[in-house]
Amino acid sequence: MRSLLFVPADSERKIEKALASSADVVILDLEDSVAPANKPAARALAAETLQGSRQGPQLYVRVNALDTGLISDDIAAVLPAGPDGIMQPKTETGACVEKLAAMAGTDMPVIPIATETAAAMFGLNTYGGISANLQGLAWGAEDLSNELGAQANRSNDGFLTAPYRLARSLCLFGARAAGVEPVDTVYVDFRNQEGFERDCMAAVRDGFTCKMAIHPAQVEVINRIFTPSADQVALAHSIIAAFTEAGNTGVVGIDGKMFDIPHLNRSRKLLARAEAYGVA
């Protein structure tokens, strides 16, 4: 997956637009984008959507956090309808994911948002080896900035400030240590195309493989930037071919540049992703 598009689960109109997008995953949101009074209606509409035609994107559900008293009703309403996965907000350790899995009583894929509280910063090394079906690890800046009492999480030029760069990096490390995909946070200024593209390119550069979105217009940008380019695919093929031709060696040269085993491994991973998206 590359793009994960949030949509309020209480808005039929917005759900229709999300399903018509090219998002890899549509996340039916029962949490922050739904007012407390609308939670029951959102659960019902989410279940109805899940029971409808399932062509197009995968359908995940973001449930409410463990400590809200709402998650049991979320699970009872949507799990019988068979979502493709669950997004779990405000986790602080891998034990939170295991608790959700036990409540759900199923091997449902889970992507936790693992940086939304101050305490969560100290638990990002606990997601490896858990029994739950962990599919990725995401980070979020909006709830974290609220908890920290920050005025903003980005500077005037649109770049993340220091606390949120740290959260982003720790999520990336935690995901890779756990052997799952790192998922980059949303970019809330969805009309700022230049800033959003810059944000996506920085995420890909640093190792993130997917990104969450809050508006259908962001999906095309995410899919384009998070899909390996033709030049990247060609170079990966060249590196693999050079190692194959060289035989038992740890380093090869291509056009005056040195490539070693980490480059070979990275090329293989890139081609696997490219093949999944039909560009290999």
> Domain 3-226 classified CATH 3.40.50.10490?
no
Q: At what angle do helices 39-51 and 12-19 cross, to 10 degrees?
A: 40
187-227 pLDDT, tens digit per residue, is 999 889 999 999 999 999 999 999 999 999 999 999 999 99
Instruction: Name the token pair of 109.
Output: 């894929």
Mean pLDDT by groups of 10 residues along the chain of 280 residues? 97 97 97 97 98 90 97 97 97 98 94 97 96 96 95 93 97 97 95 95 96 97 96 95 92 93 94 90
Instruction: Name the token pair of 280.
Output: 């290999």
pTM, entire model: 0.93
Q: Are residues 2 and 223 in contact, defined by beta-carbon separation less than 8 angstroms?
A: yes
Residues of the chain with CATH 3.20.20.60: 3-226
Contacts of 188 (CB under 8 A, 6+ apart): 142, 214
